[in-house]
Chain A
C-alpha cells in the first residue's frame, strides 16, 4: 500500500507551477535589473547618462516566467508519463543501441575526419573552403589533440593540471625561435619542441609531486602563469607582447606552398590557391591528433598506463605493490606535456605569428573543461566535447543573420562565455561525470564490460 502511495502523481500541480514561475520571475528580475534594466549612453553634451529600458527588462522576465510554466505544464508531465509507461524491454533496447553506437561511432567519426576537406570543397567550392577547413577543421583538431594530451594527466593519472597551456606555449615558442634562428625544418623541430615541452613537464613534476588535489591545481596554475610572464618579460628573446612574426611555414617535404614557380602548385601543375596549404595543415594536425590517440590507447594497455589509472584510484595501494609513484607521476606529466608541445609547434607553424596573448589561463581552462565535459579518461568523449565547444564558438561567428533581429550592433561572439557557462551548467546537471563517464577496462578474460562511473575514482592528485 505504501508503495502505491509513494508512486509519483502524473497530474499537474497548478499551485506549485504558479509558485515556481513567480519565484523564477522574481529571481530573473533581481539579476537582470542591473544588467538589462539600465543602459549607459552618451548624451548630446558627451556626458555619460543612465537610461532605463523597462520594456526590454519586462520581455526577458516574461520569457523566464514562460519557460518556468513550460517546464511545469509540459516537460515535467511528459517526463512522468514517459517514466510511467516505459515498457520493460526499453532499457534492453537502449543497451543494444548504445552497443551499436559504441561500435560504429569511432570508424564513422574517423571517416568524417579523413574526408572532411573533400566534403567541404564539394559543398562550398574552392573559394569558401579555406574558412571551413581552417577555422573549423584545424582549430577543432588542435583542441582535440590538446584535450587528449591533458586527458593523460587529468583523466588517467588523476593529477589536476590547471597550467597545461604552458606546455603548449613552450612547444610554440620552441618551434618559432629555433626555426627563425637556425632555419631548421618543421619536421625536425616538431619532435624537438615536443621533447623540450616534455622536459618542462618533468621539471614541473618534481616540485609538485608531494602536493595533492587543490594544492597541486594551484601550483600548476602558477606554473602556467610563470611561463607566460617569462614570455612577456624576456623581451630580448621572445620580443615580449609584440610576439614573434613571420615564422617559417611548413613545407610539403621541402616544397613550399608559395605562388612562385618552385612552389607546390607549380610543381604539381596546379593553379595556385592558398587552399593546398590549409588542406596539408589539416592532415598534419589530424595525423598528430591520431598519433596522440593511438599512443594513449596503447599506453593504457601497458603497465605504465595501468599504473597511472591505479594511481588515480589509490596511491598508497600503488606504493604497497612496488610501483614507483614518483616516476609514474613524472611520466604522466612528461607525456602529457609532449603532446602539448607537438600541438604548440603545429600552432606556431600554422599561425605564422605567436604572442603571449595566445597562452592565457583562459586557454588552460578551455582545455580542462573539454576534458571534464567529455568525461575524464574517455577519448571519444573528449573529442565530442572539443567539437561542441570549439565548433560551437566558431559557429557563433556565422550567425550574422541575428543582426537583422537584434540590430546592427549585435555581435553573437560576445555571448561566447555566456553560452559556454550555460552549456557547462547544463552538462553538469545532466551528466555530472562528463559525456562519457564509464571506463573501458584495459584487459578482460571473457567479456569486455564497461565499468560504471560510480566505481571510478576521479583522483585527488
Chain B
C-alpha cells in the first residue's frame, strides 16, 4: 500500500501557544494522484501546507516525501532514527520535510507551492518570473555566478534551455503573447495560472496548490481543472490541493481529506465524501445527529 505513496503525513500536530491548529493528523498522498484537502474556514488546511512546505516547523509528527524507487519507503524508520533529513540515491530519494528549511523543501525534496493570495513578482515580466523559479539549476550553470560574470558559454546555453522551458509553460497556460509584460499587469485568472506555471518550472514531484480556484469565474475554474489534469498526465506530478470550489474538487480529485478544527473527520474518494454525514455536519456547522433535521427543515 505504502509503496506508491509520494507523501506520508503522520501524527502531525501544530500548536501556536495554546491554540491547537492541527491535532494528530495523518494522511497519505499517492503517486500521480490529485489529493484534495478540504474543510470549513479555519480548519487548518493552510497550516498543513505551511508545515509540508517548511514554512512552519510542526510541533509534533513526521512528514515524509519520496520519489523514485518505491523500495526506499522501507528505509523510513532508519532515516527517522538517524539525525539526517534526507537519504538520496541515484534512483530516488526519501526526505523528512519537518526537518528541512523552506527553501530546501523545494530545492532538494522538490515540493513546489502556490499561495492563497497570489505571490507573483509583480514588477518583473512574466518570462522573468518563470526564470527566477529556475534559479537553482541556473545558479549551478553560472558556476555560482563566477562563470556567468566572465561570460562563459555554459551559462548562455543553460539560460536558453530555461527560456525554452518557460516558453513551453507559457504556451500551455496561453500567456505566450504576454511574456514581456509585467506580471502585475495580468488579469487575476492569468496571474493564478502563471503562479502554477512558475511552481511547475521548479520540476516538482509534488505540487501544493492553496485555493487555486479562489476568485475565478466558472469558465476559468473549468480551464483550471483541465490544466491540473493535463499537468498530472504529462509530467506525472502528484498534486495536493486546498480548495473551496467543490465543482473543482469533485471533478478532479482522486482522494479527498476533510479537516475540521484541525482534526481529520473523513477521507475517501469524492463520491464517498459527498455522502459522509460527518462532512455535511462540519460544513453546515451542526452536530452530526442534527444534520437530518437541518437538511429536511424547510427554509423559513
**Nearest chain A residue, comparing its CB with the CB of B145:** A304
Tell me the bound Cα distance from A320 to B117 in angstroms.
14
Contact mask for chain A residues 297-339; partner B; CB cutoff 8 A; 1 contact, 0 none? 0110011101101101110111111111100000100000000
Contact mask for chain A residues 327-370; partner B; CB cutoff 8 A; 1 contact, 0 none? 00001000000000000000000000000000000000000000
Q: Is the CB of B149 within 8 A of A309?
A: no
**Option from B115, B182, B199 in Cβ contact (under 8 Å) with A455:** B182
Tell me the bound Cα distance from A320 to B49 in angstroms.
12
Q: Is the CB of A442 within 8 A of B179?
A: no
Q: Is the CB of A313 within 8 A of B53?
A: no
Min CB distance B182 to A, Å, is 4
Q: Is the CB of B121 within 8 A of A309?
A: yes
Tell me the bound Cα distance from A400 to B103 in angstroms.
61
Residues 209-226 of A at the B interface (beta carbon under 8 Å): none
Contact mask for chain B residues 25-60; partner A; CB cutoff 8 A; 1 contact, 0 none? 000000000000000000000000000010100000
Q: Top 9 A-B pairs ranked by shortest CB distance?
A: A456-B123, A322-B106, A322-B107, A455-B184, A313-B121, A317-B119, A303-B138, A302-B148, A455-B182
Residues 84-137 of A at the B interface (beta carbon under 8 Å): none
Give 7 A-B contacts (CB < 8 Å), ordered by A residue.
A302-B155, A307-B135, A316-B119, A317-B120, A321-B112, A322-B136, A323-B132
Complex interface: stretch among A47-55, A185-193, A386-394, A445-453: A445-453
The answer, yes or no, to whether B127 is at the interface (CB within 8 Å) is yes
The answer, yes or no, to whether B185 is at the interface (CB within 8 Å) is yes
Instruction: Provide the residues of chain A in CB contact with B179, threshold 8 Å.
Output: 444-446
Chain B interface residue count, Cβ-Cβ cutoff 8 angstroms: 47
The answer, yes or no, to whether B190 is at the interface (CB within 8 Å) is no
Tell me the bound Cα distance from A444 to B125 in angstroms.
8
Q: Is the CB of A457 within 8 A of B127?
A: no
Known: A321-B106, A322-B106, A455-B184. A443 touches B121 (CB 8 A): no
Starting from the known contacts A316-B119, A449-B125, 20 additional A-B residue pairs (CB-CB under 8 Å) come to A299-B145, A302-B149, A302-B155, A303-B145, A309-B124, A310-B121, A314-B119, A317-B115, A317-B120, A318-B103, A321-B112, A322-B202, A323-B132, A441-B125, A444-B179, A444-B180, A445-B167, A449-B180, A455-B184, A456-B122
Residues 417-461 of A at the B interface (beta carbon under 8 Å): 439, 441-449, 451-452, 454-457
**Nearest chain B residue, comparing its CB with the CB of A315:** B119
Min CB distance B131 to A, Å, is 6
